[in-house]
Amino acid sequence: DHRDLHSFPTRRSSDLKWIKSHPFVLSASLHGGSLVAKYPYNYRASPQHAPNLTPDNDVFQYLASSYANTHPTMHHGKPACPGLSVLDEFPNGITNGAQWMNTDGSMQDYNYGQGSCFEIAIEMGCCKYPYSEELEHHWKEHKDALLAFMFKVCKQFLRLN
């Protein structure tokens, strides 16, 4: 039950062509708005807010958990963001995209379905658009987790002869 991956918005057509011509095996997209590592699929037609798992769900959960466990607080699973999401809880700091925030046409789903790329989305903090003076703090909080995530490509996806 995932979205037809051929019908993504045309405004992204150059991005989609680039992804097809430059294959990646591992990727992370960085966002603001909460504190969680999110894995595909991000879309489910019905019922909404129910998990929609990929055939590689075990790999995605491993990647998301590895990130969350390396981050100083993400693994606690309680971002405590203000507003309606103040009650959000994410066991071990990870979530399936469709279960948390059903999003139609995500690049994460496209990268997996069409680009054969394992992409997780990192919600880096409660503020959607942090001020420039907050960026160093975000870097310090996420640096080790980002570097550990990047090294996963060497350890998990490359097979040396």
Active-site positions read: 123
d(CA 124, CA 122) in angstroms, rounded, equals 6
Contact 35, 140 (CB under 8 A): no
Contact 49, 111 (CB under 8 A): no
Q: Side-chain half-sphere of 102: how many Cα atoms within 13 Å?
A: 13
d(CA 35, CA 94) in angstroms, rounded, equals 9
d(CA 131, CA 139) in angstroms, rounded, equals 13
Query: Locate tokens 């399936």: which residue?
Result: 96
Kindly tell me the burial class for residue 43, based on how many C-beta atoms sit within 10 Å of its own C-beta (0-12, 13-18, 19 or more). Answer: buried
Q: Which amino acid is at 50?
A: A
Q: Crossing angle for the helix pair 135-152 and 57-70, nearest 10 degrees?
A: 140
